[in-house]
Amino acid sequence: MPPTPGHTASADRGDSTLHTQAHSELIDLEGRYVVPGFVDMHMHGGAGASYQNGLHDDVRRVVAFHRAHGTTTAMASLVTDAPDALLAAVARLADLADEGLVAGIHLEGPYLATNRCGAHEPSLLKAPDLAEFERLTSSSRGHLRMITLAPELPGALDLIRSAVDQGVIAAVGHTDGTAAHVRAAFEAGARVATHLFNAMRPVHHREGGPVVAALNDPRITVELINDGVHIDTEVARLTFTTAGPDRVALITDAMAATGMGDGDYRLGTMDVRVQDGRAMLADGSSIAGSTITMAEAFRRAVTEVGRPIEEAARAASLTPARALGLDHRIGSLAPGKDADLVVLNDDLTVHQVMKTGQWL
Q: Which residues are catalytic?
A: 253
Please, is 69 exposed, middle or buried when counting C-beta atoms within 10 Å of its C-beta (0-12, 13-18, 19+)?
Answer: buried
CB 128 within 8 A of CB 149: yes
Check whether 230 is labelled as a binding-site residue.
Answer: yes
Check whether 174 is labelled as a binding-site residue.
Answer: yes
Rg of the chain over CA atoms, in angstroms? 19
DSSP state of 152: T
Check whether 249 is labelled as a binding-site residue.
Answer: no
* Ramachandran sector of residue 186 (left: φ over 0; alpha: ψ -120 to 50; beta: rest): alpha
Check whether 113 is labelled as a binding-site residue.
Answer: no
d(CA 293, CA 320): 15
Check whether 311 is labelled as a binding-site residue.
Answer: no
| Torsion angle in degrees (nearest 10) through CA of 194, 196, 199, 202 | 140
Check whether 357 is labelled as a binding-site residue.
Answer: no
- Name the residue among 209, 195, 202, 252 with its Cα closest to residue 38: 252
Check whether 56 is labelled as a binding-site residue.
Answer: no
Check whether 206 is labelled as a binding-site residue.
Answer: yes
Q: Phi then psi for 331, rounded to 5 degrees?
A: 105, -15
Check whether 108 is labelled as a binding-site residue.
Answer: yes
d(CA 3, CA 166): 42
d(CA 142, CA 189): 19
Check whether 288 is labelled as a binding-site residue.
Answer: yes
Check whether 115 is labelled as a binding-site residue.
Answer: no
| Residue ranges of the binding site for substrate | 119, 198-199, 206, 230, 287-289
| Residue ranges of the binding site for Zn(2+) | 108, 174, 195
| Residue ranges of the binding site | 108, 119, 174, 195, 198-199, 206, 230, 287-289
